[in-house]
Structure formats: structure tokens, C-alpha cells
A = this chain, B = another copy of it.
């Protein structure tokens, strides 16, 4: 079995070494050292170069190196019937949940004020008189993990997902009406959605209009979920009053972009949750074994939903 790893601009030495330990039988190639492209059986890719998939004519399956698959599904060279998988391990989901809990509770409790008080030797105890209400857009692996953590902390949490769910652990909304209800309820509205034709631009003025004054928007989905101009207008109206953004339409965010200097925008540079080599190696090997056994790769795309 020939496995190709292709994620331009990243260092894969640790990942490839670990795959070799876990599955010494695999012939692992790292782009651009592809060898004979037609011989590749399985490719794991992240923002792969245009045209690559056209050359890999012997592929049995392909996987995203991360949780998102839009770079694959939007590739016109993706063969129509090729099984597409992705890598969403427990560590990736837990790190995302940890980022959200730390950002939301740190902000809600205004922990950043205390270093300023300390500098002035001011003893000013303060804590909010209630926990925040957290609304999650998206309720997949990451959303469920975050919901579990918030529940353990007795922070009220609700979610919006594609269809009516059977998950009873937290209130679940769906449809347009449910989306607006959740937006109006949330102190923190968090976008964890996959990027599809249905979710592109979902964070727009129509949604911001439903948000509460002083609420906070957090986007850890994709930059394309957000209509940037609408957010700038909405921040001026205090609905939301703050945006914590980890993803952007163009990354790295260009120096002239207004988000950099906006007082109500907090930027983290797409690192809310990063695929770790150890976990990625285990998932890739597990996915390879499935494909070798004639099964779809791990976490296969559901074509009817577009992700």
C-alpha cells in the first residue's frame, strides 16, 4: 500500500516517522516526492496543489489531514465516486473544547482585569453573578465535547444542528427559526460548523440582528462562514459587542485588514485546535487499514449533506 501525505508548507517528519513505527508495511511518500503518481493508493491531504488529484489515478480513497473537507470537495479533479474521509480525533476535539472554555470563561469572568489591578496594587474582588449562556452552531465531535465540558461546569449550553437530533443531553435547535432563537439566547455564540453551500456566510447581518446586546461571537469554523463587512457594522451596534476570531477568509490575515486594529476583535491565528502528529499518525493508520479491508476511510463524507 502506497500512502501519500501532501500538506504544502508543513513539516511532516514527526508524522511520517510515527506512521512508520505504527505500520512498517506501508510505503509512505511525502509530496512533492510522489514517485509514480498512478501507484498511490491512499492520499492524506491539506490544501493540496491544484491538479494533484488528476494525477493520482490509482487512488482507492482520500482523506483530509484535518476536520474540514471543503478543500477536497471543492476540487474539480476529485473523482465523483472516490471515498473521502477526514481526521477528527479525540485530542483535536478536546483541544477545541479547551480553547472555547478558556476563552469564554476567561472573558466572562474578566480575568484579564486582574493583572492591571495587581500592577496598581488594587484589591477589587469581582465575579459574575451567573454563568454565561453558550450557543454552539454545529454539534459534531467538537460541539459535543465542548457541550460536555460546559455541562460539567454547570454553564448552560445549547446547540443548533442541521436536522432535528435525538441527542437529549442539551437543548438542540434546527432550521432557520431555531438558529435565530439560539442567537437571541446566547451570551456567546460559537461557530463550529463545517463549511458547505448551506453554511457559507451564515454569520451575517440577519443573524447578528438577533444577537443580544453585549453578546460575543466566536468563529472557530472557517473564515467563509463570516460576512466580514456585516460583522464590522454589527460591532458598531454592540450586537455582538466582541468577536473572537480564529479563522479568516484569507490566512494569514493581511496586514491592512481592519480586524487587526479593531478594538472589539480578538484574533488568534488559526490555532484553536491543531492536528497533533501523534494522533494524526494513529488516525491515518486506522484509516489505511479500513481502506485495505475494503471499507470507507475514517469519518467519511456524507455527500447528501455536503460535508
| Contacts from A to B (Cβ < 8 Å) | 90-91, 94-95, 97-99, 101-103, 105-106, 109, 111-112, 114-115, 117-118, 121, 123-127, 129-131, 145, 148-149, 151-155, 251-253, 255, 260, 266-274, 276
Contact = CB atoms under 8 A, between A and B. Distances in A.
| Number of this chain's copies in the complex | 2
Contacts of A270: 125
A149, A272, A274, most chain B CB atoms within 10 A = A149
Contacts of A274: 125, 127
A253 B155 CA distance: 31
A98 B131 contact: yes
A98 B255 contact: no
A90 B153 CA distance: 9
B266 A121 contact: no
Contacts of A105: 98-99, 101-102
A94 B251 CA distance: 37
Q: Which 5 pairs, one residue from A and one from B, show the smallest C-beta to C-beta distance? A: A123-B252, A94-B154, A125-B271, A102-B105, A149-B152
Nearest to A273: B127
24 contacts: A91-B154, A94-B153, A97-B152, A98-B131, A99-B105, A101-B105, A102-B109, A103-B111, A106-B106, A112-B112, A114-B266, A117-B267, A117-B269, A118-B267, A121-B255, A125-B270, A125-B271, A125-B274, A127-B273, A127-B274, A129-B276, A145-B153, A149-B149, A152-B152
B269 A125 contact: yes
A281 B55 CA distance: 71
Given A269-B123, A271-B126, A98 B94 contact: no
B152 A269 contact: no
Given A98-B131, A98-B153, A127-B274, 10 more contacts: A94-B154, A95-B131, A97-B152, A106-B106, A115-B266, A121-B255, A123-B253, A125-B269, A125-B271, A148-B152
Nearest to A101: B101
A112, A126, A130, A260, most chain B CB atoms within 10 A = A260
A129 B14 CA distance: 12
A106 B102 contact: yes
